[in-house]
Amino acid sequence: MDDLLHPTHEGPADVAPAESPAVVRTAIDLLNEAPTGRFHRRAVVVSGMGFFTDAYDLFVISTVASLVKTQWGLTTTEGSWVTGAAILGAFVGAFVFGRLADVFGRKTTYVTVAAIMIVGAVASAAAPSFLWLVIARFVLGLGIGGDYPVSAVLMSEYSNSKDRGRLVGLVFSMQALGLIVGPLVALVLLSVGLADSVVWRLLLGLGAVPAAAVIYLRGRMPESPRFVHHVKGDHEAAARSLVDFAQGEIVADGPVAATASVRVTWRQFMSSGATWRLILGTAGAWFLFDYAYYGNTLSLPVILSRVAPTGTLKVDLLWSLAMFVVFAVPGYLLAVARMDRVGHRRLQYIGFAVMVLCFAVLAAVPVLTTAIVPFVLIFGVSYFFVEFGPNTTTFVLPSEVFPVSQRTTGHGMAAGIGKLGAFVGVFMVPSLDSSLGLRGMLAVAAGAAVLGLAVTRLLPETKGRTLEEIAGDGAA
């Protein structure tokens, strides 16, 4: 094993070996101290491709729902089921596959959820009826939900301490591509003269393409060294897989050693008060955020039609695309660049605070919800701080705060409850829009963001600390 990790240096025969003892390092030390390199970027691409698929499949459905609702004469509630079925599936999938990834490993679960996404996307595109489409989207959501904890945790466990937030944030930023590609593909298909019934099927079916690429890429990525080291207890295999994947970018200055690890069982995890504090902090913030974010984002065509009733679907798509490009994408990029300096929890505070301000202003000033330009500007500012804030941090923080033996379980619980918030938002936003009006709906979203600020206080600041230090996984 030593030969794998560091070269043998030969010198003159009469030179005595150094008197100082060799520095002992574990595979976990090597991960925590490794400079950011090509193997980190490969891990970002592998994890991020799955998340691009997630984002595309979740956000393209707002356009699909508009087309299907007209073609099949669906009610508002049925349209919400088309929009929300995948999110409900994600709620279940995050719990189920988050747990399975702690039992069977990250890699096996990683490939499985990608295969489920392919099945769900193809079945959705072939749907002959409303019920078929809802069930197929639910199946797709199972894979999407399972991808959340595994993508986040695998990247977190491959990261060093210094740049972990940036690296996990890069995985999440692939959502930005999904936000852009979805409306672009929809605009292209709507502009070439295809029938609406063909357009929505193509939009759904195309989601299987990146998922297929994900299966190939994930099959070539080794199991998380932290999982192998701490959970499986195979210290040599952890070091070997790390060195192989790093392709020479990691070199040890001394022998690689085993270390004691405190493995937390599922029963211990679930009976701990500290666990439930972390779950309330991570899952609570994610639920409240996703209620406001998904409810507003997936209902964006409806919201824009309320502000500008004469706009067509193409015009609404262009406005949506403009907001994503001008506001959301820079927010993602700045979050990636600054998260490890600002602080992960602190960034969540900032984002929630600006969401409160923007939604409250829109709710309080009537003229802002009747003119498209000022509405888009203020709503766009909220979008910027959504990405430069809780949309990124609610994904990153659960990948850091839970012990390694229960890390995907904890992240899956947070992600699943977050998706439940999104599901509630998908149904409540149109209902609130009908009963309270757009301003009332935005006032409720502001209230959700206020609560998000409150539960964020339950979480520790994680920037610059090792996963082992944060989660108490023993010496590493």
CA distance 199 to 12: 73
Q: Are 242 and 27 in contact, with CB atoms under 8 Å apart? A: yes
Domains in the chain, please, with CATH? 33-221+262-459 (1.20.1250.20)
Tens of pLDDT, residue by residue over 48-84, are: 887 888 788 877 888 888 899 889 999 888 888 998 8
Other Cβ atoms closer than 10 A to 258: 15
State the pLDDT at residue 215. 85
CA distances to 137, 289, 368 from 68, rounded to whole Å, are: 14, 28, 31
First CA to last CA distance, the chain: 18
State the pLDDT at residue 258. 61
Collapsing DSSP states into helix, strand and coil, what is residue 256? strand
Q: How many residues does the chain have?
A: 476
Nearest CA to 154 out of 42, 47, 36, 31 is that of 47
Residue by residue, DSSP assigns 104-166 as: H-HHHHHHHHHHHHHHHHHHHHT--SHHHHHHHHHHHHHHHHHHHHHHHHHHHHHS-SSSHHH
Q: How confident is the model at residue 371 (pLDDT cuts 50, 70, 90)?
A: confident
Q: What is the largest CA-CA distance in the chain?
A: 89
Task: Identify which has the larger pLDDT, 321 or 205.
Answer: 205
Q: Are 333 and 384 in contact, with CB atoms under 8 Å apart? A: no
Tokens of 360: 């409250």
Asked whether residue 474 carries a pLDDT value surpassing 70, the answer given is no
State the pLDDT at residue 32. 87
Using a pLDDT cut of 90, give the percent of the chain over it. 42
- Tokens 């894979």 map to which residue? 143
State the pLDDT at residue 219. 77
State the pLDDT at residue 309. 62
Asked whether residue 388 carries a pLDDT value surpassing 70, the answer given is yes
Cα angle 259, 266, 284 (rounded to 5 degrees) comes to: 110
CA distance 239 to 370: 60
Q: Give Cα 99 to chain centroid, integer Å.
A: 17
Using a pLDDT cut of 70, give the percent of the chain over it. 86
Please, which residues bridge with residue 256 across strands?
Answer: 25
Nearest CA to 240 out of 1, 457, 15, 19 is that of 1
Q: Are 148 and 101 in contact, with CB atoms under 8 Å apart? A: no
State the pLDDT at residue 238. 78
User: What pTM does this model have?
Assistant: 0.85
Asked whether residue 295 carries a pLDDT value surpassing 70, the answer given is no
CA distances to 179, 199, 200, 209, 321 from 61, rounded to whole Å, are: 11, 12, 9, 16, 14
